[in-house]
Amino acid sequence: MDGIDLFFVKSVHWAYEREWRMLVPLEDAVEVVPGAPYATHLFDFPATAVRQVIVGARMTDTNMDALLSSVRAFGLARTLGIKRAVPDATDFKLKFHELPV
């Protein structure tokens, strides 16, 4: 397996995510935000390409408010589902709770 193959490998345990992955040359970024240890490269893509966002159980209220504000500002509230991952109280797994937008 070479370095590129690592981007295409996923455990069957995560199959429920049904994610799509894009590999785009960094030089095609529309914006580069400096950071340490690496810069963040931002790319344009159609908003309709995202159907659902799952946020982590430890996402802060501040970040959640920012996410929901952005969803509303871009008119995505009717087409985008947002769920929060919550650890199950009895089993070693996650539950997903639908969040109102």
Q: To which residue do tokens 């590129």 refer? A: 4
Closest CA to 99 of 87, 83, 88: 83
- Rounded to two decimals, the pTM is 0.66
Query: Model confidence over 13-64: pLDDT tens digits?
Result: 878 777 778 888 999 999 999 999 999 999 998 888 888 999 999 999 999 9
Identify the pLDDT of residue 74: 87
* Alpha helices, DSSP H, located in the chain: 61-73
CB atoms within 10 A of CB 76: 17
Radius of gyration of the chain (CA): 16
